Structure 1
Amino acid sequence: MSTSTVKEAVEVGVPIHTAYNQWTQFEHFPHFMEGVEEVRQLDDRHNHWITSIGGVRREFDTEIVDQSPDERITWRSVDGDTRQRGSVRFEPLDATRTRVELTMEVEPTGVAEKSADLLGVIDRRVKGDLRRFKDYIEDRGGETGGWRGRIRPEDPGTSL
């Protein structure tokens, strides 16, 4: 099965801890991620996602395999009909600006998803999601919460 890799970055006008803390608030993702209807945090490592993209509704679970405060969060899908993994990295540019870089590997399934991938829809969606994250966090001026725990990879081969 073919995998598509998407890599995008955005500069946000908030300190690194603010950008990172907001990204750990997974249940707020529907506020800035197109097609994400709901994210339920099941525990420190697991989230349940409901998405609707191009009329295709999906439910799946993800597992955080590596998380280091103010540095990175890496995840993979663990069940459901969506196969993906990714990593978001945070880099301080100065005391008030942060670079947020998102890398995702997605295996499109079905004719609609494969066609959307060929047309660059996944790339545009990720770019739009990061732009909306920038607007969301900058407009708020602060995070809605934060989780500062550390999760270490159980299998070094799972990290991007």
Structure 2
Amino acid sequence: MSSRARLVVPIGVDDLYSWLHDVANWPQFLEGLEAVEPLGYHRYRWQVTFGRRPGTCDVVVSVDPQEHRFSWRHLAGTPFDGTIRLTPVTEDRTQVDLVVDVKPLDLLDGVVDLGGRDDWMAERDLQRLRDVVAARGALRAAARGALRRDGEAV
């Protein structure tokens, strides 16, 4: 099942790129990704839950800083591939394009997939990303406000 979505989030492209560069942050917004274990040199073991059962997925993550793009490809385990591409809209807003591809593991998962159960997977992922980013922005703004009172450091 391939799912695509696009959404503008309230954060600058450089800040979002820096946050996404830490793959350990990805379970906060990618549906089905429960945990990330680094294996070395852009390789990770992901604990995933798709369909009816949990599993693992060994992936390699490719980063293209000039394109502001992150791509992952499964090497072993549960087939789970995808791409995140960032495009600046304004200084403090970024368009995020997400493509997620999850292959069914067995006949029942394939039938559920054909039924359209996960048609909106990427859209939900981006909504969660927007919520995480908005919460982080509110915390940063609150921290800046606590440091300044009438223009002076507290």
Q: TM-score normalised to the size of structure 1?
A: 0.76
Is 2:135 aligned against 1:139?
yes
1:101-135 CA distance string (max 9 Å, x none):
01123322213321232122333222111100110
Q: Structure 2: which amino acid aligns with 1:48? A: R
- Secondary structure of 2:118's counterpart equals helix
Match of 1:96 among 75, 92, 98: 92
Computed over aligned residues only, the root mean square deviation of the Cα atoms, in angstroms, reads: 2.0
Is 2:7 aligned against 1:26?
no
- Secondary structure of 1:121's counterpart equals coil
Shift of 1:20: 1.5
1:20–1:69 Cα contact (<8 Å) kept: no
How many residue pairs end up in the alignment?
138
Q: TM-score normalised to the size of structure 2?
A: 0.78
Distance verdict in 2 for CA 1:22–1:116, change over 3 Å: farther
Q: Name stretches of at least 5 consecutive residues in structure 1 with no aligned partner.
A: 143-160
Larger Rg: 2
2:3–2:120 Cα contact (<8 Å) kept: no
Q: Structure 1: which amino acid aligns with 2:92? A: T
Distance verdict in 2 for CA 1:84–1:33, change over 3 Å: closer
1:12–1:19 Cα contact (<8 Å) kept: no
1:3-22 CA distance string (max 9 Å, x none):
x3221111100000112122
Q: In 1, distance between residues paired with 2:26 and 2:35?
A: 8
Q: Structure 2: which amino acid aligns with 1:123? A: D
Percent identical: 26
Q: Which residue of 2 aligns with 1:55?
A: 52
Q: In 1, distance between residues paired with 2:96 and 2:89?
A: 10
Structure 1 runs of 4+ aligned residues shifted over 6 Å read: none
2:63–2:69 Cα contact (<8 Å) kept: yes
